[in-house]
Amino acid sequence: MIDYRISPTRGFSEKIGELVSMLEHTRAVTISEIEHLRQEELDFLPDESANSIGGLLSHIASIEFVHQIISLEKRDPTESELQKWTDSLELGNNARTNIKCKSIEYYLNELKTVREDTLSLLQEKEDSWLFEENKWDNGVPFNNYYLWFHVMEDEINHRGQIRVIKRQMNR
């Protein structure tokens, strides 16, 4: 059952617990949209420039993974990590070619594994960590709170795309 309350999550500092509550709600709604899809539905491409639902699910996991290592581990992805996640991060032609023929269980496991790592790492942080600032290579400042807001907004945006693709499949 999806929880429609935002409240601190046990085992986390107060604000991080609220963030976890929002991340978990966002994920529960996403899973409710996709958990019964078959492989052919996950691979469906509405047109030659679209992304598949499977590609979008892999992208959701990759965005969380990258934000996890940037904000929680204070590093950039390694070459082997980029090799695994680049198609998912960039989407487009390579993703259309390489992200397919996988079951819903594969994508659910990918999302679950990344989330478990995120939660484990967030348990080690205090609320002040959310407000720690850094700068992008172009000099634009950001804080950790923004990075995790972006993880949620990106998932919600792609969930909207998934809903559109599902409607296109049903025509």
* Percent of the chain residues topping a pLDDT of 90: 91
- Torsion, CA 72, CA 76, CA 82, CA 87, rounded to 10: 70
* pLDDT of 4 above 90: no
pTM: 0.94
Burial class (CB in 10 A: 0-12, 13-18, 19+), 92: exposed
Ordered by where they begin, the domains of the chain are: 14-169 (1.20.120.450)
DSSP strand pairing (133-135 vs 141-143) = antiparallel
Quote the distance between the C-alpha of residue 163 and its chain's center.
16
Of the pLDDT bands very low, low, confident and very high (cuts 50, 70, 90), residue 1 is confident
Burial class (CB in 10 A: 0-12, 13-18, 19+), 144: buried
Min mean pLDDT across 12-21, 69-78, 103-112, 144-153 is at 69-78
- Are residues 42 and 104 in contact, defined by beta-carbon separation less than 8 angstroms? yes
Residues 76-132: tens digit of each pLDDT = 999 999 999 999 999 999 999 999 999 999 999 999 999 999 999 999 999 999 999
